[in-house]
Amino acid sequence: MLTLGISAYYHDAAACLLSDGRILGAAQEERFTRQKYDPALPVNAVRYCLEQAGATIADVDRLAFYEVPRHKRSRQEWQAARRTEGPEVKVTAQETEARLRDGLQWTGDIHFVDHHRAHAASAYYVSGFDDAAVLVCDAVGEWDTTTFWHGRGPELTRLGGVRFPDSLGLFYSCLTSYLGYRPNSDEYKVMGLASYGKPTYEASLRKLLELDADGGFTMDTQVLDFVGEPEGYRSNLAELLGIPARRPGDPVLPHHADIAASGQVVLESTVSALLDWLSRQRQTTNLCLAGGVALNCRANAVAFEASAFTRMFVQPAAGDAGTALGAALCAEPPEIRTAAAPSVMRHAYLGPSYGSDAVAELLTGAGVPFRDFRNDEQGLVDAVAGALAEGRTVGWFHGRMEFGPRALGARSILADPRREDMRDRLNSKIKWREEFRPFAPAVPEERAEEFFVMGRTSPFMIDLFKVRRPDVLGAVTHVDGTARVQTVNAAVAPRYHRLLHRFGTLTGVPVLLNTSFNLSDEPVVCTPVDALRTFLRSSLDLLCLEDLLVDAASVPAELREAATEEHRFVAGAGLRQGGELYSFF
């Protein structure tokens, strides 16, 4: 039985296909369209999922959508009635259903799943726990902004929640906007900036959020206005803080870092309070997290370590992309959800993969010289590890693409973590991003404790740990002495694991700097064409495309120039899932 889950029409559209509880494929639409956070109906992601299963839409038994449109419309109408100006509510529930049916050629029933239930399901049903507390925290679903759940066996029971306009996610997005960044997009920048500041504005920001005894909270809507103000705040926020809002492009000054630090502390303490209340509702020591706020790895770590919970699972696609998975899981019969083993999410490698033969044809057709390691994986690992040890940077493309925002060794840029100047080089010359943003380390699971204070595995790079050896890990140690660690399991990612070990043999440090394979404000690469274009437009030294290795020094100058003009790039060459060639155009 096939179940297709869809997230669409807000941001981070995605599709996920299940077969009796087992994830066959999952991907975000942005990876195919190259439009970051693409909200459109994910027809390309759906096409990929169906191809992965060797199926068509006619073979799908159930279609699930990540929210209940009529409930969302009621909230939008409530907002519109309280605005003096702004957009009208134009899309009805019937129109949403019609768009789904027309866009996917679907004639069967549609399971509309409550947004926060979809989030909760995306974490609990793939956690491996048969009993767990679940916290979902985001900007807003239909009405909910925070919800508490208890999962036991196939059942997921709601315990309570907080409704719009009181929203911890929107509180953080408001600060993101105040600091000159894009809300609902750049919150991770605020998290990185926070470590450079002091929480000198904590007392002021705490006035905006009041906790109650029942696990809830309320916002000061005289200052934070998520209904009538496009930025989410009124002018009196500047009076409260004593500092005007930073405009995009303005210098980032120490007091901006202090505001970020203050907002981060308020977020962490509030999530801690929510977990404290949740832990007292049911006798379980297992915790699951989902929702956009769960992408804040610092809040996850601080709140979990201060809680009564002893085990934690965070959905790697914690944002709205993950609700495609959650909606699909909710639509499946309870007897399927009871068999937890097939659904345990040990990895996030759920996207497309491409064969080396087709990649070789692409490179040859584009006139790109390469070294061929198709029958010599150890030779490839040795060559890449040696280059990394010499301080060279590598675009690493192998296997199925990751689902969710993190690059986990399938679509990654890799570098030597020992060189502190590597952080500045990557930020300024390759990624073209803010200098204060940290990079993450990847380490073999069995050796993680040597370099980080772990206590638990971290396969999805969504948790934070203290660095034991900052003296040898300068490029991946944040200013506060922490790192967003990825632990790599040999059975899950064997080639990536071997590369880490080989680098360790050469350097004594089996750790690599791992960051997403993309340039600033672009989605992570999906296809070899994306990877080659990004490589040619960057200052990366090497590109490892499956079993083939390209050295930047050997690439013709005219090809680099053509990479900046998409209509000229690699004319007539391209790839699709499974390695079959098709026209790039």
Cβ neighbours of 192 (radius 10 Å): 21
CA-CA-CA-CA torsion sign (11, 148, 16, 494): positive
Tell me, yes or no, if 256 is annotated catalytic: no
Of the residues 11, 115, 478, 497, only one is catalytic, namely 11
* DSSP E strand stretches across 153-230: 155-163, 209-211, 217-219
* Token pair in block for residue 216: 């809830």
Q: What is the largest CA-CA distance in the chain?
A: 67
Residue 30 to residues 12, 34, 37, 171, 522: CA-CA distances in angstroms? 7, 5, 6, 26, 9
CB 36 within 8 A of CB 358: no
- Strands, E assignment, 193-276: 209-211, 217-219
Partner residues linked to 110 by β-bridges: 63
CA nearest 388: which of 410, 352, 414, 362? 414
Name the pairing type of β-strands 14-19 and 512-516. unpaired
- Please provide the distance, in angstroms rounded to a whole number, between the alpha carbons at the two ends of the chain: 35
Residue 165: asked if its preceding bond is cis (omega within 30°), the reply is yes
Cα 499 to its chain centre, rounded Å, is 24
Rounded Cα distance, 114 and 557, in Å? 53
Helix axes 254-279, 297-305, angle to 10 degrees: 50
* Residue numbers annotated as active site: 11
